[in-house]
Chains A and B, each alone.
Chain A
Amino acid sequence: MILNMDGSKPIYLQIGEWLEREILNGNFGSDQKIYSQYQLAELFTINPATAAKGLTLLAEENILYKKRGLGMFVSPNAKEIIINKRKNQTLKKLVIEIVMESERLDVSKEELIQMINDVKTGEAGE
């Protein structure tokens, strides 16, 4: 992954999101050891303290757990937590934005639902 360095999003958040994606992809299974702060620092050429902040963030959300002296590990229910979080936060925000934009453009609810259906079936047809 290439980090977005334009300063619009803090690097540690981007590290957190990248790790979440790695867990969702199945690259890291339950109770598997995840990258250390130093490995992350090397991967992305960032300060190890910034990388640690990204790891701590996920530990606070119970996506990772810490084993003293051994490093960070993926929680058994990590996927579930990430999916729930994304549904309730990320997706919800996107939906609010879509609804607001549709109101600005005078797009009716039915039209909007139709648009979503079109995208869905378009995906299935691929």
Chain B
Amino acid sequence: MGEGYAAAMPANAHNWVAVWLRNFLAWKKVALASILGNLADPMTNLFGLGFGLGIIVGSVDGTSYISFLAAGMVATSAMTAATFETMYAAFARMATMRTWEAILSTQLTLGDIILGELAWAASKAVLAGVAIGVVAAILGYAPWPSILYAIPTIALTGLAFASLAMVVISLAPSYDYFVFYQTLVVTPMVFLCGVVFPLSQMPSSFQHLAGGVAVGSFGRAPSSNNAGPPDARCRHTYRCALHLRGVAVLSVRGTVSSTSDAVRQHATENGDANDAILRDDGV
């Protein structure tokens, strides 16, 4: 088995770019709808909660509630963009559209494909996070430079969550099981990680739990942009980035191993199903 996994790892440092470019070409055809889709959900939350709760809450951590929430929404939209891109779009390319099957007949390895998919999901996370940041900056809820500081962290958030989702799609037998990951991991993270309210309001045991969860460190990073001095912000972002990079690297490795089994399984299932179709047709 060891030999099989070695052959599945990324073949070189640049093969993944072809996969990224393929997804980019597909995305360009629906770019406008995709961007609007990425913006709609976090904007609804931002204005709904921001103006609604904001009146009751007043200020948080020395800034207005809507500014606090804007930073959280940047993190959340990066997380959901990467998660959904992987969980639905990449899963479709792996299991139903046979895109991966086609790519595997070229000189690319499974590792190249996964690296390309993760990089693509991270790119979409950057797009989604920056889009929210820009809207928040235009409305005066975030300083413009904070978007620049946040980009590396947004990208790593995307990479980490894309990797986690990749493990989920490789282990889950079908679409129906993704909902467990969504409801038991992704949604709680929004509340555990200081997106909607500061972590300090949580019982201390939850605070420890949240400390281990990736988006938690991130959710606080941009919100501190509004409060702390610039160099403190940078330090914080850097620390988050390091933390996330560890998660991401581990995830890429684990993902390739677990996904190679899943691909095999889907290939076999498809083969069987197709044989059945052929027999029914009586070809």
Say if A and B assemble together.
no
